[in-house]
């Protein structure tokens, strides 16, 4: 086919596009994945929010805010990295802000605790459930995000894959926070962050395969 003919064909098939259509698509993919993940969690653990009377509202709000902030920052960075010609540069460091805030809380908790109870703060009673559930439940969200990238054009697939993974992991952690019985910032710093990092690494590994265009 001649290039000029191709140009004519493409111009004829061009429909008006809505501004930010790509962003809506990405958010839609994330939401679809999150719905599937929430259904999975309900299947595994039953109704959410039952542990709030035990943990208290502040601890619950802290977990939810941390995970949601990570998801928001990760999603924004993934969106930027899906636009050709834009680079993240120092913006990646936004991802360190929520853990830094939580680290301050963790330092205060650890300073008050005796040596024996410090290990308790780090590991809580449910670290293995947290790590496993957050990583697994991130998978449908990750696939939803990949679907949401249809209209975006990432040019650094590993970077974008990693950010998609972080976003999926953090969204998964947000949903898991509705069930999590832990109450400390120290637990949040170690296990939530680790689970999100695991999702990010997995995303970087599969990104180049799934996000090619």
Query: Is the Cβ of residue 75 or residue 82 nearer to other proteins in the bound state?
Result: 82
Annotate each residue in 77-116 with x if it binds other proteins (CB under 8 A) or - if it does not, as one string.
-----xxxxx------------------------------
Q: Does the footprint of other proteins cover residue 47 (CB under 8 A)?
A: no
Long-range contacts of 52-56, Cβ-Cβ distance < 8 Å, separation of 24 or more? 54/181, 55/180, 55/181, 55/182, 55/183, 56/183
Q: Taking CB under 8 A as the rule, does residue 128 contact other proteins?
A: no
Closer CB to other proteins, 149 or 179, in the complex: 149
Can you tell me which residue has the tokens 């650890």?
110
**Which DSSP symbol is given to 39?**
H
- Tell me the C-alpha distance between 90 and 96, whole Å: 11
Only one of the segments 30-38, 89-97, 119-127, 149-157 lies at the binding site for other proteins (rule: CB under 8 A); that segment is 149-157
- The span of 14-22, 64-72, 99-107, 118-126 binding other proteins (CB under 8 A) equals 14-22
Interacting span for other proteins (CB under 8 A) from 11-19, 56-64, 100-108, 134-142: 11-19
Among 143, 153, 194, 198, binds other proteins (CB under 8 A): 153
The number of angstroms, rounded, from the C-alpha of 31 to the middle of its chain's C-alpha atoms is 12
| Cα separation, 212 vs 150, whole angstroms | 10
Dihedral sign computed on CA atoms, order 157, 160, 163, 165: negative
Q: Residue 18 in 3-state DSSP?
A: coil
Interacting residues toward other proteins by CB under 8 A:
1, 3-4, 6-8, 10-17, 19, 21-22, 25, 82-86, 151-153, 155, 212-213
């Amino acid at each position: 086919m001649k290039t000029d003919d191709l140009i004519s064909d493409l111009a004829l098939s061009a429909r008006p596009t809505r501004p930010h259509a790509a962003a809506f698509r990405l958010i839609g993919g994330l939401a679809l994945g999150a719905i599937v993940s929430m259904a999975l969690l309900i299947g595994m653990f039953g109704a959410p929010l039952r542990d709030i009377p035990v943990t208290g509202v502040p601890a619950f709000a802290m977990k939810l805010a941390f995970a949601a902030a990570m998801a928001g920052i990760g999603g924004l960075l993934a969106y930027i990295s899906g636009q050709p010609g834009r680079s993240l540069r120092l913006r990646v460091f936004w991802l360190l802000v929520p853990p830094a805030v939580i680290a301050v809380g963790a330092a205060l908790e650890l300073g008050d605790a005796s040596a024996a109870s410090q290990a308790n703060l780090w590991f809580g009673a449910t670290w293995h459930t947290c790590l496993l559930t957050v990583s697994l439940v991130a998978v449908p969200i990750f696939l939803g995000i990949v679907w949401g990238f249809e209209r975006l054009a990432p040019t650094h697939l590993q970077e974008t894959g990693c950010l998609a993974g972080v976003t999926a992991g953090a969204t998964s952690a947000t949903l898991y926070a509705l069930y999590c019985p832990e109450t400390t910032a120290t637990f949040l710093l170690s296990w939530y962050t680790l689970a999100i990092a695991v999702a990010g690494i997995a995303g970087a590994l599969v990104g180049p395969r799934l996000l090619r265009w």
